Structure 1
């Protein structure tokens, strides 16, 4: 009888609790957002947008909402997405004082790094230290490490190309994993002092230390990174669920949380290996010019070095940013260049290869940065592919902190409102880019062709004081990878569309190409 009473009581109280928890705030705390359109569920909770993240398609769900409801859309109970170029200034500009949303707390493992720290003062301290590692002189010194890895990469591509599977001499290759291997090895070399060895092994594998002072084990680095991004992006939208996520029946959460731990373990193992090697090195030995060495040598305003746990978190930040974004973007660049050539034969590849051939000696195995950094058509191809793919596709959420709120066009958003600007959506806005918005047209980037709104709109590395500190390194890597590949090889495209899924960044599922060495390289 007691159980029956409990069940009856629960059946009565549960709807009451749901109304109080989800519906009442809609009419009270967040009544100022009632006039903003959006999916019905999104007006009462973050469940709608979290489901989009759980399915790896948050960027597509938010884009759908904007196409249905307009440029300003409510995607959460207190979260408004602004799909207008002018929104970048409103949400991310210097001096607005906005804070990163609590969303970023889901990405913390260990201590916060420059990516996920929310405190403005602490972020400024971290960024000043890390900025030295990305100064023009430091970035120039990175090229030696990039070149060594590129040579290992082309040896593997040469091997694949030497076994053609098509009658026209092309060998088939999925370019996505090979972009992952080269990006991981380069950032391993730059951030930890040695490549992970993915290119040589031809597989996704890294050393990790999962427990303090525990054994070194092998873990899949890219797969771990992908799962970590997916689960953190989902739990960041449902933070109250985070303590209980490992108990949920959906293995997405338990596997994702395991990946968070594994990824931290990869950073621990790599940093420990490098610092141990530093201690054993003879005094007076020449320092290695890489990111980790610069972080080790860096001092804060009081002359204190970076603590080891913070060093691991910052190295992990570089691992995530330097591998995930570069690998995903490089793969997308390959696809879109070849897609553009397929759509308009003779308009892309001949121009690109003529430009590369004029800059890179015929006998060179790889490109140098000096040869490719200022090639205008190569840069236009890369920028156009970045726009179309939008690796950083989601809107990065910020909390309004001004006591008077912030005005965007006709709407005043009060203190505490969460705002974001979805990069994928503004990069595909026909009102900004024209009716050919979905076409690969590098010449839209000719200086005289860009409109003021297009210049504002392009947002691949975020905007304002929180913009990516390593964007110069990313551009350098992309120019070297793409320039080397299209100078050395012929490619043909074997798929119609580039399907993607999303964690924190948007990753192509696969990219099947044909590859063969160019006649000048045989």
Structure 2
């Protein structure tokens, strides 16, 4: 079965003939004509040897990208993307690079890819005037239409950003605050129902039966409900039900039940495991389905496509019925004057997809990370200082923190930023491709068509910029010193391709964290407990079981 798939790929049913591949592999025409006399399996074997052994060695010697001078992830990374794919399967490739970058400022992660650690690389790769574009990874993982996050062409990106900027504008935060407040109130209702007796002063480890909430799951229910409301004016009801069960839609209009988070995260996981050799990714994606491990992830991917299609169709029906709602979807369909944008349906669905993905996943990760840091015994002073700031801003009757009361609290923002620095939700080094004529990155001349990147995790662990970089020190982000760090703080990337939704995530994080710290006490499973992390493109988190109980009133 696998051979037939490979054969069809080379025969042209996937768009490439043996002649195409012979040209790609730089096999001279007279040699190719000689090969045509061989039986197909023999010819295919010769092409495989040429592609996987001879061609990589040839290009390594040619060194068009001027990369041979850089140390590799390992000795094979100079000629193959396989080492990076293996690192991806281990689930912590960026953490491995952090350690390597302590010794080497530039690391070759593949035949045509390099990772940088110098702060100068941030502006060169991602700055407003960079000549680098998003690389082939965004092309091979895109659907039928590009969305704002994966579109490569600058003019097309500018068009999309103009369409969506009004929906994400800072002025809209006041209009959306009630939606975030509603989700916060629903989460608090669930936590109130799961509150336990206070942890005795002489006890540091709660009883297993008292670990009544999985904070990671509940914050994800929160962000999913919030972005569906903000973007589509839809009430998914995950916070009320305590589950992410929902419907996915097939193209024929029928539906089937799925779990939202599995579909979202497993789709990204499969891509992150296999995408690193762009030319081979379409084939690898298909061949991998012969193995149950990957086939299961592909089934979840179909579920994710169905979830997005269902959400888009439900909202389209409301729009067609004449509802005019202040949300993201409305901005896609018409401008602020009511003039239709006439976007293709595929583009609308693509934009709904990235909104429901990026608008929920990274914020939920950030929410869990920051509370985890605050609950560590070594950070008790940070938690105490933050609570004092929040308590001073809120009254006893403020169950849900009003955004206006907490949005300018300096220590609250510093705590959030320090958590985002220490564990950026998107740990993946966002890949960019150098222009054909090449460019200089952090003082190094890099040839044309090379993938260059700097992971936020690597940038944020740079001791020259962030002393004691492995420690949680919110004070570093206070005052003028904190402002000076902003050019090196890239949790939301940088430049023209920076995250358009950062205002929304700060709104959600600020309101939720202030609300739960004002109302509750929490305890980890044990003082030394650590959350599990798995890197895809984001740094996914495992469960976060907590004991929760109501704080005593300050006047008691």
TM-score, normalised on structure 2?
0.85
CA RMSD of aligned residues (A): 2.7
Contact (CA 8 Å) 1:53, 1:230: kept in 2 or not? no
CA distance in 1, matches of 2:348, 2:398: 38
Q: Is 2:238 aligned against 1:194? A: no
Where 1:73 maps in the other structure, the secondary structure is strand
Alpha-carbon shift at residue 13 of structure 1 (Å) = 7.8
- Is 1:440 the counterpart of 2:472? The answer is yes
Q: TM-score, normalised by structure 1?
A: 0.90
Instruction: Answer whether contact 2:401 2:514 (CA < 8 A) is retained.
Output: yes
Q: Does 1:50 align with 2:90?
A: no
Greater mean deviation of Cα atoms: 423-432 or 371-380: 423-432
8 Å Cα contact 1:161/1:516 also seen in 2: yes
Q: Residue 460 of structure 1 aligns with which residue?
A: 491
Deviations 1:192-231 (A, max 9, x none): 221322111111222210x213312221111111111111
Contact 1:182–1:199 (CA under 8 A) maintained in structure 2: yes
Which piece of structure 1 moves more, 128-137 or 58-67?
A: 58-67
Structure 1 residue matching 2:534: 3-state secondary structure: strand
The answer as to 2:439 corresponding to 1:406 is yes
Q: Equivalents in 2 of 1:169, 1:397: separation in Å?
A: 45
Consecutive unaligned residues of structure 1, counting only runs of 5 or more, are none
Are 2:307 and 1:266 aligned?
A: yes
Using the TM superposition, give the Cα deviation of residue 443 of structure 1 relative to its aligned residue in structure 2, in angstroms: 0.8
Return the alpha-carbon distance in structure 1 between the equivalents of residues 413 and 92 of structure 2: 28
Following the alignment from structure 2 to structure 1, what is the Cα–Cα distance between the partners of residues 329 and 514? 27
Instruction: Find the aligned partners of 1:303 and 1:131 in 2 and give their Cα distance.
Output: 16
CA distance in 2, matches of 1:206, 1:337: 33
Structure 2 unmatched ranges of 5 or more: 1-38, 200-205
1:425 counterpart residue number: 458
**Change in 2 beyond 3 A, CA 1:327/1:9:** closer
Contact persistence 2:92–2:535 (CA under 8 A): yes
Does the aligned pair in 2 maintain the 1:196–1:205 contact within 8 Å?
Answer: no
Q: 1:408 to 1:170 in 2, by over 3 A?
A: same
Aligned twin of 1:146? 180
- Structure 1 runs (4+) deviating above 4 angstroms are 5-17, 162-171
Instruction: After superposing the two structures, state which structure 1 stretch, 329-338 or 52-61, moved more.
Output: 52-61
Q: How many residues align?
A: 506
Give the counterpart of 1:491 among 516, 522, 529: 522
Q: CA deviation at 1:14?
A: 5.8
Post-superposition shift, 1:421?
0.7
**Secondary structure of 1:142's partner?**
helix
Larger mean Cα displacement after TM superposition, 5-14 or 362-371? 5-14
- Please tell me whether residue 291 in structure 1 is matched to residue 324 in structure 2: no
Distance of 1:96 and 1:437 partners within structure 2: 27
Counterpart of 2:501?
Answer: 470
* Preserved CA contact (<8 Å) 2:65 2:449: no
Counterpart for residue 205 of structure 1: 245
Listed one character per residue, the Cα deviations across residues 274-325 of structure 1 (whole Å, up to 9, x for unaligned) are 12123335xxx6x32221222222389x963323221111111111111101
Question: Could you tell me how far apart the structure 2 residues matched to 1:14 and 1:186 are?
Answer: 49
Alpha-carbon shift at residue 169 of structure 1 (Å): 11
After TM superposition, give the deviation of residue 244 of structure 1 in Å. 4.3
Q: Aligned with 2:167: secondary structure?
A: helix
